[in-house]
Chains A and B, each alone.
Chain A
Amino acid sequence: GIQVEQSPPDLILQEGANSTLRCNFSDSVNNLQWFHQNPWGQLINLFYIPSGTKQNGRLSATTVATERYSLLYISSSQTTDSGVYFCAVVDSGYALNFGKGTSLLVTP
């Protein structure tokens, strides 16, 4: 199946800082999604972005499908941005194949 690698595995930021999270995948994909898992375990859909660029408030994402990577940008980070960010792609069928995640801690 498709391999999904996320970097960095851990990230500590001071409130107000910007960051870029990366997701590399080993084959072409029909779907790529970014999620934020909050401390209660809920996965929150951030972006559905198999290609192109999207923005939602302080967050934006870019997927370059031909080069098999996606980037998630977080600007002016807030403590509520803390949590784990997952990238996931569709492998065979429709099931999502998750990366190991980036654990983000934003300090006051």
Chain B
Amino acid sequence: GAVVSQHPSWVICKSGTSVKIECRSLDFQATTMFWYRQFPKQSLMLMATSNEGSKATYEQGVEKDKFLINHASLTLSTLTVTSAHPEDSSFYICSARDGRGGSYEQYFGPGTRLTVT
């Protein structure tokens, strides 16, 4: 099956610093990748949709200047949390759509646990 990796798996940073999270599709090309965040005991909430070579589309309420998304190639998307604050602490998960054959199926990375102190 399709494999998606994320790096780092966890990160602790100080308030005011920036953190970059990488999401890679390892064995397929992903024209579309997605970023979700999940708070404890809650479901996944879509933050943004990332298409290769174009600007990301952010969901309502997600600050695009705070959560910078870059999808520079068909296998890599990055999420940068700028000037992180404790309320940004969360579990961030990326997914990639394997569009071969017109499929809508998505595959998820293992997630990145961010703690801002």
Contact = CB atoms under 8 A, between A and B. Distances in A.
Q: Which interface residue of B34, B38, B104, B111 has the most chain A CB atoms within 10 A?
A: B104
Task: Classify chain B's interface size.
Answer: 20 to 34
A31 B56 CA distance: 22
Nearest to A31: B104
B9 to A, nearest CB: 9
B74 to A, nearest CB: 15
Contacts of B103: 48
A95 B95 CA distance: 9
Given A43-B93, A45-B1, A96-B95, A35 B104 contact: no
Interface in B65-112: 91, 93, 95, 97, 103-108, 110-111
A11 to B, nearest CB: 15
Contacts of A30: 104
A44 to B, nearest CB: 8
Nearest to A91: B46
Contacts of B38: 41
Interface in A69-108: 86, 88, 90, 93-101
Contacts, number: 57
Interface string A50-77: 1000000000000000000000000000
**Chain B interface, DSSP helix/strand/loop, else mixed:** strand
A40 B110 contact: yes
B113 interface: yes
A95 B93 contact: no
B98 to A, nearest CB: 10
B43 A99 contact: yes
14 contacts: A33-B105, A41-B38, A41-B91, A41-B93, A41-B110, A41-B113, A42-B108, A43-B93, A45-B107, A86-B44, A94-B106, A95-B49, A96-B106, A97-B46
Interface of A: 30-31, 33, 35, 40-43, 45, 48, 50, 86, 88, 90, 93-101
5 closest A-B pairs (Cβ-Cβ)? A31-B104, A43-B108, A48-B105, A41-B111, A98-B43
